[in-house]
């Protein structure tokens, strides 16, 4: 997740927290994270994607990827898309292209009969 995405998430969480009248300490406790980690989120620092999920769960809000999901995809496809996105966001930016390549290669290797190149 790059800085602008982290800032967007931090703002989303701040607005949701303040709309409930909660302090940062209250949200941290409800989410089961440390105050230090809450400060990192508030400052748009890099944290584990699971931390953001805990905060969203505590606040009762859905990830923006779910809210803005393309219509027509079945729920299982949306779930896989979101899980892969969370995994990729945890990979450092400099390593992400190689991680994507390895991920796609593993799918092709595991299930080659399901992967078709358009035009074949």
All structural domains of the chain with their residue ranges: 3-61, 70-113
Predicted confidence (pLDDT) per residue in 49-102, tens digit: 889 989 988 988 876 554 444 456 677 777 777 788 888 888 888 888 888 888
Closest CA to 28 of 48, 6, 54, 7: 54
pLDDT band at 35 (very low <50, low <70, confident <90, very high): very high
DSSP one-letter code for 62: -
CA 44 from chain center: how many Å?
14
Other Cβ atoms within 10 Å of 105 Cβ, number: 10
49-57: list long-range contacts, CB under 8 Å, 24+ apart. Answer: 49/1, 49/86, 49/87, 49/89, 49/90, 52/9, 52/13, 53/86, 55/13, 55/27, 55/31, 56/13, 57/31
**3-61: CATH homologous superfamily?**
lambda repressor-like DNA-binding domains (1.10.260.40)
DSSP one-letter code for 44: T
Q: pTM (2 decimals)?
A: 0.54
pLDDT band at 48 (very low <50, low <70, confident <90, very high): confident
Mean pLDDT, residues 14-21 taken together: 87
């Amino acid at each position: 997740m790059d800085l602008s995405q982290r800032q967007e998430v931090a703002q989303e969480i701040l607005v949701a927290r303040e709309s409930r009248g909660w302090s940062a300490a209250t949200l941290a406790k409800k989410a089961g994270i440390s105050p230090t980690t809450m400060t990192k989120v508030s400052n748009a620092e890099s944290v584990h994607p699971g931390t953001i999920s805990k905060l969203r769960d505590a606040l009762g809000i859905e990830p923006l990827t779910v809210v803005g999901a393309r219509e027509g995809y079945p729920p299982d496809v949306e779930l896989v898309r979101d899980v892969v996105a969370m995994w990729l966001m945890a990979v450092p930016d400099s390593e992400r292209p190689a991680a994507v390549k390895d991920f796609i290669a593993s799918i092709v290797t595991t299930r080659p009969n399901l992967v078709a190149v358009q035009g074949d």
